[in-house]
Every structure is written in C-alpha cells, then in structure tokens.
A and B are shown apart, each in its own frame.
Chain A
C-alpha cells in the first residue's frame, strides 16, 4: 500500500518537474517544449508560459542550457506578409499575469545545438530573472508542427472527411 502510494507520488512529482517549475512561489513556468526539427538543424525554438503569481513585476533577463550555445528571447513579427524576428534583451511578466510563448510569436531562439535532438528528448534550461532568481526547467522536444493546436487539428481531420467528394 505505502509502496504504491510512494510510486504514485514519485510519478506525480516527476510530472510536475517536467511540466512546471516554481521558485520562491512567485514565478511558475508551464508546459515548456522545443519544436523538433531534422537532425542537421542547429537552431530551434522553445516555447513556454511564465506565470507570475506575485505582486511585483518579474523580468526574464536570460536563458541558458547545456544543450545550446546561446539562447535569446525573440518575437516573430509578420507585417504585410513579411516575417522577421525581434531580439528582446528582456521580457517583463507583470504582477499576477502570464506571458505565453507560442509558435508565430514570442519564443526562445535556441542556437548552436550541441547534439541532434529527437522527439521526446529532454532539454534542461535555466531561466534567470532580474531579481536574481533562477528557475530550472526541463523542456520536452516534440513535433509541434502546429504548436499547441495539435488536438484541434485531429478534430478537424474528421470534420474534413465528411465533406469529401
């Protein structure tokens, strides 16, 4: 009985460690993931949500990972069909608010991959905030292709099949 409970507890804790991390209680990082790419691609994108549960604004000032030579905060901007990326030196997360990084917008630009990453691989990262706080997270490599809309797409598959000629 205790054995089973402790097993469940360990699984739960592992799940939490992977999906979210918090330090000092104010900053919570949710659902970090890395967009998979062919093995030869050295530059990837990472996505996550930073939730600030505190009463003071928090500022993300840097991100590092042993798997990448350099990580920058970027924002994709599409203006008049032209796409480009803006490099942000820092990212403010207002008090009691969330900043969501997702495909087509804010993302972590992960550069100089030290090894090919495959779907399911774990990427440890450390987020550094302006107040000196460091938050360690583990991002999972997955075939985003459509980002968080994967499930949505499956629904559309069946809908499309119905009006096939």
Chain B
C-alpha cells in the first residue's frame, strides 16, 4: 500500500512537471509569435462617449463656398474641424446650435494653441434657397472661425453620408405661401481630426462649455496617443 502510493506520487509529480514545462513552452512560443500590436491607449471615460470607436478616414469631397471657393478633404487636414449640417430657413435649432458652437470656440480661445487648430464648417443642406454668399454671412455671424459651404445634391450626399448625417428636403406644402418648405437634418456637431478622419461627435443638446472642455480633452488624448 505504502509503496504503491509512493510510486503513484512520483509518477503524478513527473506528469505535473511535464505539463508545467509544456505550458511554459507554449506560453513562450505564443509570446514570441504574437503579432506586434500598436499600444492601445484607452480614452479617458469622460470623452469616450464622444469618440467614434475607430477614427474613420474620410474620402475626398467637394463643397462650394462664397466667391467660388471650394472646400475639399485637404482643407480639413491640419485642423480640427467642427462640422454642422443645417439650413438658414431654420430659425430655431440652427441659430441655437451655431450660437453654441461660436461660444464654445470663444471658450477654446483661452487655450491659444488649441484655438489656432480649430475651424467650423457650416454645411447648408438647402442649396435651393441658401446661396454661398448668404451662407458665408450666416456662418461668419456666429464666429469668424466658421466657414459656410454647400453643394449640389450629389456633392452634399457624398459628404454627409460619410458621417451618416442624413437630411430630408420635404416637399413644399401647396398651401404654403412663398418659398416655405422644411428640411429635416441631423443636429449633431461632428469632429474631424487633423488627419481628416471622423473622430468624434457632439450630439444634441449641446452646451458651449461641454463642447469646449470635451474637445480640449480629446485633443490632449489625441496628442498623447500620437507620441506613443
């Protein structure tokens, strides 16, 4: 009995040892063969909800501003761009959001380096009524950092679909006088990073200090990640 037990014990120990060695070898091989992965830096919790899961590279687009100036993907690169889709015959939500964005820019202005890097883009999704000149005047009214652009339906669709910023131009009510019809639009403010990637978003209802503070944190996070 005693001998048998001892023999079993030694055999068991040997099996255990072999198993341990096998696991160690497997682990070593796994570590050695593991593909080199870039260090993933998790965004701080307070900005996580504002960021897209993965920054999405935008494809080139063409929109038109006043004086026949065009806006393309290259014009977004090197800057943080705050993009808002709206229209001028929208007297409530659009001035509200544009005003909030203008105020947010003023708050960001307390950080001169960050202020240098920002621009706003107001995209009118109502090119029938909104001329590039009026759009420019409108955008400038809220901040001299906001440019105003529009385009034909194909150009607007090509750009807005990249952000899933859908809009619908409603048929004119036959009883309505003048040129009155409505446009349903996404009232999110989208954030494009200096590489021209869709990076974050500020869904409604926004507040100026929320946009300013979250943006400054996003920018810090982005710059830290770039250094790693």
Contacts and interface: CB of A to CB of B under 8 A. Distances in A.
Chains A and B are bound partners? yes
B137 interface: yes
Interface residues of B, number: 39
B212 interface: yes
Contacts of A110: 91
A151 B209 CA distance: 14
A18 B84 CA distance: 35
B56 interface: no
B141 interface: yes
B142 interface: yes
Contacts of A82: 166, 184-187
B214 interface: no
Nearest to A104: B96
Interface stretch (A49-57, A90-98, A129-137, A157-165): A157-165
Interface string B155-191: 0000000000010000000000110101011111000
Nearest to A108: B91
Contacts of A111: 178, 180
Interface string B93-111: 1011001101100010011
B92 A103 contact: yes
A43 B88 contact: yes
A129 B90 CA distance: 26
Given A76-B92, A82-B184, A84-B182, A146 B100 contact: yes
A84 B141 contact: no
Contacts of B140: 38
B91 A145 contact: no
A22 interface: no
B105 to A, nearest CB: 12
Contact of B178 (A69, A83, A159): A69
The A interface, classified by DSSP as helix, strand, loop or mixed, is mixed
B187 A83 contact: yes
Given A38-B138, A84-B184, A144 B95 contact: yes
A37 B204 contact: no
Residue among B142, B180, B209 facing the most chain A CB atoms (10 A cut-off)? B180
Nearest to B177: A70
A153 interface: yes
A41 B137 CA distance: 9
B189 to A, nearest CB: 10
Contacts of B213: 160
Nearest to A84: B184
Given A82-B166, A147-B96, A40 B186 contact: no
B103 A145 contact: yes
Contacts of A144: 95-96, 99
A139 to B, nearest CB: 13
B205 A78 contact: yes
A144 B103 CA distance: 12
Contact of B88 (A41, A70, A156, A160): A41
Nearest to B91: A45
B127 to A, nearest CB: 15
B184 A103 contact: no
B184 A104 contact: no
B203 interface: yes
Residue among B95, B184, B209 facing the most chain A CB atoms (10 A cut-off)? B95
Given A111-B178, A161-B110, 7 more contacts: A40-B134, A41-B91, A43-B88, A76-B92, A83-B186, A103-B96, A145-B96
